[in-house]
Copies of this chain bind each other. A is one copy, B any other.
């Protein structure tokens, strides 16, 4: 089969940066290197106390948090200090949002994308977004709050990677006979990519590695597209591409 890999498949800028940092630390520092949870979905802010404990014990702490993920944390802190009620458009159960919430030093409300917008008693409201928030969801919440409150300050903390990756996956799904989306079954962004591709090309498969692939899935297919989540390493994507290229 001819294999087409989406331009933006695999590691986003921030993930690559963090993984490189861990590799560098492991190469240069003597002794054990430990990450606080899986490095990619690491809720840096939530783990702050653990980090502090580690520092108190004299351990060296390397902060690998993506700057795009740190930005809404800094904004939550700054805007709540300036007297704004902080509204975060995102998933309250996601580690990233737990981190952002932990930085707010005043009232803070998490609004689920597509969900109801609760009544908030505040004159000044600041709105920030999960880095993976879809633009339309942020737009809806900011607009609705702008007519309810005296002042709304919206800081666009969305990372373009998600939308670009989804746009690329959508374009790819339109031009192939089947799609393979590579990435963790527990990765929300990978699952979302698979949903997007499946809506266009019903012959879409979500796998973690090539070990799951079955030749029968691709009967009659001449071209197959590959997309991958932001936390999927290149070597996993390449393993899948090799397997498909040999069919």
Contact = CB atoms under 8 A, between A and B. Distances in A.
Contacts of A158: 147
Contact of A149 (B143, B150, B151, B156): B156
Contacts of A192: none
Nearest to A157: B150
A54 interface: no
Contact of A156 (B127, B139, B150, B155): B150
A152 B144 contact: no
A171 interface: no
Contacts of A135: 147
A177 to B, nearest CB: 34
Interface string A166-178: 0000000000000
A142 interface: yes
B143 A139 contact: yes
Contact of A154 (B139, B140, B152, B156): B152
A67 B43 CA distance: 47
Contacts of A70: none
A146 interface: yes
A120 to B, nearest CB: 14
A98 interface: no
Nearest to A135: B147
B142 A138 contact: no
A155 B151 contact: yes
A151 B146 contact: no
A148 to B, nearest CB: 8
A146 B142 contact: yes
Given A139-B143, A139-B144, A146-B138, A151 B152 contact: no
Interface in A82-136: 127, 135-136
B143 A151 contact: no
Contacts of A142: 142-143, 146, 152, 154
A153 interface: yes
Contact of A138 (B136, B139, B140, B147): B147
Given A143-B146, A151-B155, A154-B154, 8 more contacts: A139-B143, A142-B146, A142-B152, A146-B156, A150-B156, A152-B154, A152-B156, A153-B153
